[in-house]
Structure 1
Amino acid sequence: MDRLKLVLPNIKYKESIMDYKNEFIRNGDSMDGTAGLANAQSFEEWYQAFKDNLKEETVREGLVPATTYLAIDETNKLVGMIDIRHELNEYLLNYGGHIGYSVRKSERRKGYATEMLKLSLEKCKELNIKRVLITCDKNNIASACTILKNGGEFENEIIDGHEVTQRYWINLL
Structure 2
Amino acid sequence: MTDYFLIEPSNDYKEEYIGMIQEWEGTGEMMVPFVLKYDYSDFDMLIQELMDLRDIPRVDYTKVNSSTFWLVMRNKKVIGVVNIRHKLNEGLLNRGGHIGYGIRPNERRKGFAIEILKQALIKAKGLGIDKVLITCDKDNIGSVKTITNNGGVLDSEEVINGIEVQRYWIETDNNG
Instruction: State the TM-score, normalizing by the size of structure 2.
Output: 0.90
For 1:21-170, list aligned pairs within 5 A. 21-35=21-35, 37-40=36-39, 42=41, 43-57=43-57, 62-170=62-170
Gaps of 5+ in 2: none
Query: What amino acid does structure 2 have at the position aligned with 1:87?
Result: K
Distance 1:17 1:41, change over 3 A: closer
Partner of 1:15: 15
Query: What amino acid does structure 1 have at the position aligned with 2:9?
Result: P
Query: What amino acid does structure 2 have at the position aligned with 1:21?
Result: I
Q: What is the CA distance between 1:97 and its match in structure 2?
A: 0.6
Q: What is the CA distance between 1:41 and its match in structure 2?
A: 5.5
CA contact (8 A) 1:96 1:135 kept: yes
CA contact (8 A) 1:154 1:168 kept: yes
Supply the distance in 1 between the matched residues of 2:49 and 2:21 (Cα, whole angstroms).
16
Q: Deviations over 1:99-144 (max 9, x none)?
A: 0000011000100000111011110111110000011111110000
Q: What is the CA distance between 1:49 and its match in structure 2?
A: 1.6
Q: What is the CA distance between 1:40 and its match in structure 2?
A: 1.7
Q: Secondary structure at the match of 1:134?
A: strand
CA contact (8 A) 1:81 1:102 kept: yes
Q: What is the CA distance between 1:59 and its match in structure 2?
A: 8.2
Supply the distance in 2 between the matched residues of 1:28 and 1:60 (Cα, whole angstroms).
33
Supply the distance in 2 between the matched residues of 1:75 and 1:8 (Cα, whole angstroms).
16
Identity %: 41
Aligned residues: 172
Q: Secondary structure at the match of 1:96?
A: coil
Supply the distance in 2 between the matched residues of 1:72 and 1:39 (Cα, whole angstroms).
19
RMSD over aligned CA atoms reads 2.0
Gaps of 5+ in 1: none
Q: Secondary structure at the match of 2:32?
A: coil
Runs of 4+ in structure 1 displaced over 6 angstroms? 58-61
Q: Secondary structure at the match of 1:146?
A: helix
Q: What is the CA distance between 1:5 and its match in structure 2?
A: 0.3
CA contact (8 A) 1:34 1:82 kept: no
Q: Secondary structure at the match of 2:63?
A: coil
Supply the distance in 1 between the matched residues of 2:172 and 2:38 (Cα, whole angstroms).
33
Instruction: State the TM-score, normalizing by the size of structure 1.
Output: 0.91
Compare 9-18 and 133-142 and name the one that shifted more: 9-18
Query: What amino acid does structure 1 have at the position aligned with 2:92?
Result: L
Query: What amino acid does structure 2 have at the position aligned with 1:152?
Result: G
Supply the distance in 1 between the matched residues of 2:18 and 2:172 (Cα, whole angstroms).
33
Q: What is the CA distance between 1:19 and its match in structure 2?
A: 1.2
